[in-house]
Amino acid sequence: MGKLLEVERLQIAFRTDQGDVISVDEVSFDIKAGETVAIVGESGCGKSVTSLSLIGLLGKRGYVRQGESRFNGFSLTKASSAELRKLRGNEISMIFQDSMTSLNPVIPIGEQLEEPIRLHLHLSRQQAKAVALDMLRKVGIPRPEVISKEYPQTLSGGMRQRVMIAIALVCKPKLLIADEPTTALDVTIQAQIVQLMKQLQASDGTSILLVTHDLGVVAEMADKVVVMYAGQVVETADVFTLFRAPQHPYTQGLMRSIPHLNRDSSKRMDAIAGTVPSLQHMPTGCRYHPRCPHAVGRCREQRPALQNVGNEHLVRCWLPSESVPPTVKDSLAGHISGGAV
């Protein structure tokens, strides 16, 4: 199966008054046609910046300093603004994490959905309206003829997110970037949104780049997982391998921090000690070593590279663990049975 998206050693920087700050460093991954790849990690690890760079939405201060991303062999990094505009909403679409601020509050839902249809599919106003209503039905919006005339602020969070999905998928893109698509939604609506995305992916064969911190959603949707920490990829593996045998201490910490129903309520939940380092003051050596319980002298002095520990399982660690913490599998099972997805 061919690679739809290829990201190679991507380095992203932002211009500040104190000089350029590197936000994402040497990030590499790929997505095949019909595949779902999840990028996970704490807030500030570079997940969203990586995804925004693919479609040229880094703003005036952000830019790709090194590396390259390619879509169907076409360089997104070297593309002009006009070329990226033709791709956005057509072959590559994005669901942003805040539906309230992503939708225009003074334009009816129907008109916002019709705009990309007329722009990219070149249909008449009447044809675009018919396609828009059909798409609203597909994403489970009741009474689409009525809802299409409503404004975003009159809808619930779950309904707005369905509208965002409709807008993103109406032109049947080859790649969908979903940035925290279930954030701020209750678990019932989360499950509905995840199921909806899976159904639409199955029907249209869309590839998905899922940006999230919710490991329950990752377990439900992803084929492959990219774990990021402090702007770098620290582990990459297929979803089954990652949950069954995480090798990087940071990934293991994320797994242990999953809340689950079988947890002893008299004990405190596991948490990763310390905080994510500042972009301006990254540690020498391994960036995770100040928080890592297994760090040795080499970790503090030398920067580890991604190494293959078997079957395309990549780990950025000098001492990849051979054992899986006993709570990992229990945490995952409890998290899913607890209705997170």
Give the number of other Cβ atoms within 10 Å of residue 238's Cβ: 15
pLDDT score of 336 more than 50:
no
pLDDT score of 184 more than 50:
yes
Cβ-contact 25, 232 below 8 angstroms: yes
| Domain extent for 295 | 228-337
pLDDT score of 331 more than 60:
no
> Considering the domain boundaries, does residue 244 fall inside one?
yes
287 class by beta-carbon count within 10 Å (0-12 exposed, 13-18 middle, 19+ buried): buried
pLDDT digits (tens, 9 = 90+) for 317-329: 998 754 444 444 4
pTM for the whole thing? 0.88
pLDDT of residue 315: 96
**213 pLDDT band (50/70/90 cuts)?**
confident
Give the number of other Cβ atoms within 10 Å of residue 263's Cβ: 17
Comparing 80-94, 112-126, 167-181, 189-203, the range with the smallest average pLDDT is: 189-203
> Considering the domain boundaries, does residue 308 fall inside one?
yes
> Considering the domain boundaries, does residue 130 fall inside one?
no
Please state the rounded mean pLDDT for residues 40-69.
94
> Considering the domain boundaries, does residue 127 fall inside one?
no
pLDDT of residue 182: 82
Please state the rounded mean pLDDT for residues 195-217.
90
Please state the rounded mean pLDDT for residues 282-306.
93
Q: Is 250 helix (H, G, I), strand (E, B) or coil?
A: helix
Comparing 49-63, 132-146, 179-193, 246-260, the range with the smallest average pLDDT is: 179-193
pLDDT score of 14 more than 70:
yes
Please state the rounded mean pLDDT for residues 113-133.
94
Please state the rounded mean pLDDT for residues 234-262.
89
**199 pLDDT band (50/70/90 cuts)?**
confident
> Considering the domain boundaries, does residue 200 fall inside one?
no
Comparing 27-41, 241-255, 258-272, the range with the smallest average pLDDT is: 258-272
pLDDT digits (tens, 9 = 90+) for 141-169: 999 999 999 999 999 888 898 899 999 98
pLDDT of residue 341: 34
> Considering the domain boundaries, does residue 254 fall inside one?
yes
Average pLDDT of every residue of the chain: 88
> Considering the domain boundaries, does residue 54 fall inside one?
no
Question: Which percentage of the chain shows pLDDT scores above 70?
Answer: 91
Total domain count for the chain? 1
pLDDT of residue 261: 66
**187 pLDDT band (50/70/90 cuts)?**
confident
Give which of 199, 186, 213, 224 is closest to 340, Cα–Cα: 186
pLDDT of residue 326: 43
pLDDT of residue 323: 42
Give me the DSSP letters along 187-215: HHHHHHHHHHHHHHHHHHT-EEEEE-S-H
**192 pLDDT band (50/70/90 cuts)?**
confident
> Considering the domain boundaries, does residue 92 fall inside one?
no
